[in-house]
Structure 1
Amino acid sequence: MKREKPKYKKIVDAAVSIIAQNGYHQAQVSKIAKEAGVADGTIYLYFKNKEDILISVFQEKMAVFADYVKEILEMDLPASDKLYKMIENHFKVLHDDRNLAIVTQLELRQSSKELRFRINEVLKEYLTLLDALLREGIDSGEFPADLDIRLARQMVFGTIDETTTSWVMNDQKYDLVELAPRVHKLLLSGMKG
């Protein structure tokens, strides 16, 4: 599988760096190849085109978020604590990889309608896991039985996403991870209220 090949990973990581520095539209495949230390043609062994690189970047990086949420769901913790861990992890991954934060929060948003549709497909797994976490909270009695899971999911993901975008727009000047407790508290009060 191509995901396990070292060159594939190098290209994905190089793409994050080049897209963050230059913007998606100015990020030339040749620059990505140079950053990855591979020949231009090598990129086309793994990717159809630049759009495919961007989608692959998102798939690879969203897998990191989704895999961690799967681990969280297995933990013997109340749903509200799992929600906190999810928020904290989301912030930590992006705080620790500032180029990735620029790509996910800014560059992916400027893409074509077709590309955004493909991005939403990738996001589905993460949101499905969030639904499972919310359902667990309802089943345990932590969250209200009449909680609208779809609306709660939009509220949780939207808040995490907008908080991150605001941090990126403010040149990442403060510690994003430090906001996790306050975001968690606001979201919990919104769901229980």
Structure 2
Amino acid sequence: MTISHLMGIKTKHLPKLHREQQIIDAADHVLTNAGAQNFTIDKVVAHLGVAKGTIYKYYKSKDDVLAEMSVKALKILLDYFKAAVEKENEPLEALQALILAFYKYYLKYPKYFELFIYMERPDFHSNIQGYLSISLELKKYFTEHLIRCQSAGLIKKDLDPSYCTYMIWGSCMGLMNFIEAKKVFIEEIEKLQREELLKLYSEILVAGMKS
């Protein structure tokens, strides 16, 4: 049975996994069309044609729905990271490619990037295990690459790889959020290219870590 067929079934007796998939597919549709800032459970309910209580039977809050939906988004980002590293033979060039992969992902999936920004807010909270697991896997992948760079004597030994991972994640998110907010000014007034700006950023970041 396909997901599209399941989306058309309006019954109270769907198996748990099928109903959860319905909800997440509907949430993905709402995110794509409305964005993270305008995402509401009411919009998911309207798209599915079910009672609001059906959603809360499976997810305790809007944050839980967003966290579950982000599992797919984070898995795609991890694939971007892996593909970027595989294309480079030199570890520091691969590190730079990792940073730029985040930008390429942002261009391809702007609504997922918006979701990440939204989930960075201080009051966001979710215990959805899939979200926690893929978040740790993504962080581990990036940190392990930094450790390989350290082992090869390419970046400073006194840098904590975990701290560096969070620093890179946070600064990437911040810079790309700034670029998105100021893109008209940057491109039309300052005549700067966003990709060139990100390349320079990645070069400066990597240069600051080099041994």
TM range (shorter): 0.7 to 0.9
Residue number in structure 1 paired with 2:120:
109
Query: How big is the alpha-carbon RMSD for the aligned residues of Structure 1 and Structure 2?
Result: 3.5
Where do 4+ consecutive residues of structure 1 move more than 6 Å?
116-121
Are positions 1:16 and 2:31 aligned together?
A: yes
One-letter code aligned to 1:17:
T
Equivalent runs, 1:112-123 vs 2, <5 Å:
112=123, 114-115=125-126, 122-123=134-135
Are positions 1:84 and 2:102 aligned together?
A: no
Residue number in structure 1 paired with 2:40:
28
- For normalisation by structure 1, the TM-score amounts to 0.74
Residues 93, 47 of structure 1: CA spacing in aligned structure 2 closer, same or farther, 3 A cutoff? farther
Residues 52, 188 of structure 1: CA spacing in aligned structure 2 closer, same or farther, 3 A cutoff? same
Aligned counterparts of 2:121 and 2:202: Cα–Cα separation in 1: 29
Aligned counterparts of 1:44 and 1:16: Cα–Cα separation in 2: 16
Aligned counterparts of 1:45 and 1:158: Cα–Cα separation in 2: 32
Residues 167, 121 of structure 1: CA spacing in aligned structure 2 closer, same or farther, 3 A cutoff? farther
Structure 2: gaps spanning 5 or more residues:
1-15, 188-192
SS at match of 1:88: helix
Aligned counterparts of 2:57 and 2:73: Cα–Cα separation in 1: 17
The alpha-carbon deviation at position 140 of structure 1 amounts to 2.1
2:198 pairs with one of 176, 180, 183: 180
The alpha-carbon deviation at position 116 of structure 1 amounts to 9.3
Residues 54, 44 of structure 1: CA spacing in aligned structure 2 closer, same or farther, 3 A cutoff? same
Residues 156, 6 of structure 1: CA spacing in aligned structure 2 closer, same or farther, 3 A cutoff? same
1:44 pairs with one of 35, 55, 71: 55
* Number of aligned residues: 185
Residue number in structure 2 paired with 1:168:
180
Residues 89, 33 of structure 1: CA spacing in aligned structure 2 closer, same or farther, 3 A cutoff? farther
Farther-moved stretch of structure 1 (127-136 vs 159-168): 159-168
Structure 1: gaps spanning 5 or more residues:
none
Give the helix-richer structure, 1 or 2. 1
Residues 189, 90 of structure 1: CA spacing in aligned structure 2 closer, same or farther, 3 A cutoff? same
SS at match of 1:112: coil
Aligned counterparts of 1:116 and 1:47: Cα–Cα separation in 2: 13
- For normalisation by structure 2, the TM-score amounts to 0.68
CA shift digits 1:46-93 (9 cap, x unpaired): 941422211112222111112332444555621212212211221121
One-letter code aligned to 1:132:
E
Are positions 1:60 and 2:72 aligned together?
A: yes
SS at match of 2:156: coil
CA shift digits 1:90-129 (9 cap, x unpaired): 1121222322232221x22346253499877653322211
